[in-house]
Amino acid sequence: MKIDNFKAETWMTLHENNCLYNLADACAQSLTLDELLNFSQDKETKIQDILNMKLDYGPIEGSHQLKQGILKLYQTGDDDQIAITHGGINANELVLISLLEPQDHIITITPTYQQIYSFPQSLGVSVDFVNLKEENDWLPSIYEFEKLIKPKTKMICLTTPNNPTGTTFDKTFLEKLVVLARKHDLYIFCDEAYRGLGENEVSISDIYEKGISTAGISKILSAAGLRIGWIKTPDKNLIKMINERRDYHIISSGSLSDYLACVVFQHYDQIIERNKSIIQENKKYFKSWLKDNPLVSCVIPDHGTVCFLKYHLDIPSAVLAEKLQQDTGVFFVPGACFDLEYHLRFGLANNPQTVKKGLTLFGNWLKTI
C-alpha cells in the first residue's frame, strides 16, 4: 500500500528538535507530570497509585472513568458510544479504515490535516476538496460541498477547529451540513482535536446520527505524551465494529496512560482555564506585533490553538522557514506542508515567553531580507 509522505510530520521530525523558539507547536504548552499532579489535593496518594501500578495492558477498551471524563467535552453519549485509541491520529485511522473501501469517494477541505485525505487515498478512495479561501476568512459555503457529491460519496470530512487555519465550523454551519448529509445518507466525520476552548463549539456526534467525532488530550489538554485519543459517535454498532478492528492495532492504551488521562479529566476545568489564558496573552501580543509587521497578515481564529500566517514576500515557504530557523532559531511549519504557499503555521498556545521572543526575532529578521 503506497502512501504519500506526511509533509508536516516529516518537516517537524527534521527541524523541530534543533530549534530555539518553536512557534509552530499545535499543542497547548505541554504539562509536566509534576504540574499535572499539583492540580490534585491528594498528590501523594496518586504518586503511590502510580508506583504500585502493575504495568499490564490495563482496561483493554479504556476505563469507565476515562470515558466519563471524555464526556465532559460532549452534550450527549455514554460509554458504548466511545472507543479509546492511541491518540487522535489512531482514532482518525480507525474511523477511515473501518468505513472506507476502494472506489468510495469522500469530500474534505484544503488546507487541512493531511491524514484526512492522504490516508484514504492510500486505501484507493477518491477525494474531492473544498478550497478554503483566506479572503472569506477560510469559511466555505454548504453549496461548495453539495456540488461535489457523487453517487459513490460516503463521507464528508472536516477538521474543526481546522489545522492549520483555525477555522471553526459553527453550529449553524454544521446543522446545514447535517441536512445535506442526511439527504444523501453520508457520514460526517469531524476531527475535533482542537475543539473545547471556546463557547458554542458543537460536536458533530451530538447533532447527527451518522456523525463521528475524533479527538484526544494532546492539544487543548496539554498531554500529548500520554497518547490518549478517542472516537465518539451515537452509532453504537459502529463503535463495536471499530473496537473489533482496534484489537488488531493497539490492544489497549496501557494502564499508566489511562490512569493519568483520568487525572487530566479530573482537572479539566483548571487545564482549560490555564490554556485559555495562555492563548489570550499570546493573541494580545500577536495582534500588536502584526501592526508593526505589515509583511505578515493573519485571519486570527476565535478558537483552537493554531492559525495560518500569510507573509507578503515572494519566497517559497520551505525556503523561508529553513533560512529563518538557520538565522534565528525560530521554527515554523511552512505552508508547503499544507499545499498552500506563502503561509506559515503558528501555534497560539505555546509558552508566551517563547512566542514573544520568537515573534520579535522573526519581525527583526523580516526587516533584514
Ligand X SMILES: Cc1ncc(COP(=O)(O)O)c(C=O)c1O
List 36, 178, 181, 193, residue binding ligand X (CB under 6 A): 193
And the C-alpha cell for 210?
451518522
And the C-alpha cell for 175?
446543522
**What number of chain residues touch ligand X (CB under 6 A)?**
13
Cβ-based nearer residue to ligand X, 73 or 193: 193
**Pair 286, 359: CB distance under 8 Å:** yes
Q: Which residue has the cell 497560539?
A: 348
Cβ-based nearer residue to ligand X, 87 or 334: 87
Element spanning 21, H or E? strand 21-22
For position 301 contacting ligand X by CB under 6 A, the verdict is no
Q: Within positions 45 to 104, which residues make up the interface with ligand X, using CB under 6 A?
A: 87-89
For position 304 contacting ligand X by CB under 6 A, the verdict is no
**Pair 361, 330: CB distance under 8 Å:** yes
Cβ-based nearer residue to ligand X, 95 or 361: 95
Strand partners, 265: none
List 229, 234, 254, 335, residue binding ligand X (CB under 6 A): 229
Instruction: Convert residues 161-190 into a mask of x (bound to ligand X by CB under 6 A) and - (unbound).
Output: --x---------------------------
CB of 161 to ligand X, least distance (A): 9
Write phi, then psi, for 90 (nearest 5 degrees): -75, -30
For position 24 contacting ligand X by CB under 6 A, the verdict is no
CB of 107 to ligand X, least distance (A): 17
CB of 129 to ligand X, least distance (A): 16
Cβ-based nearer residue to ligand X, 72 or 287: 72
CA distances from 339 to 110, 154, 161, 250 (A): 8, 24, 18, 31
Cβ-based nearer residue to ligand X, 311 or 338: 338
The region of 35-43, 170-178, 216-224, 330-338 touching ligand X under the rule CB under 6 A is: 216-224
List 22, 29, 159, 293, residue binding ligand X (CB under 6 A): 159
Contacts of the segment 96-103: beta carbons below 8 A, 24+ positions apart: 96/120, 96/123, 96/189, 97/123, 97/245, 98/238, 98/241, 98/242, 98/245, 99/154, 99/155, 99/187, 99/238, 100/125, 100/154, 100/155, 101/125, 103/152
Cβ-based nearer residue to ligand X, 63 or 305: 305
Cβ-based nearer residue to ligand X, 163 or 328: 163
CA distances from 66 to 61, 71, 219 (A): 10, 9, 17
HSE-CB at 256 with a 13 A cutoff on CA atoms is: 13
Cβ-based nearer residue to ligand X, 113 or 286: 113
Please state, as a whole number, how many other Cβ atoms lie within 10 Å of the Cβ of residue 119.
20
In the bound state, the residue with its beta carbon closest to ligand X is: 87
For position 216 contacting ligand X by CB under 6 A, the verdict is yes
Cβ-based nearer residue to ligand X, 91 or 100: 91
**Pair 271, 221: CB distance under 8 Å:** yes
Write phi, then psi, for 272 (nearest 5 degrees): -65, -45
CB of 290 to ligand X, least distance (A): 24
List 191, 299, 303, 332, residue binding ligand X (CB under 6 A): 191
Torsion sign, CA atoms 70, 72, 74, 76: positive
Strand partners, 296: 311
For position 221 contacting ligand X by CB under 6 A, the verdict is no
List 74, 113, 331, 332, residue binding ligand X (CB under 6 A): 113
For position 106 contacting ligand X by CB under 6 A, the verdict is no
CB of 224 to ligand X, least distance (A): 5
Contact positions toward ligand X, by CB under 6 A?
Answer: 26, 87-89, 113, 159, 163, 191, 193, 216, 218, 224, 229
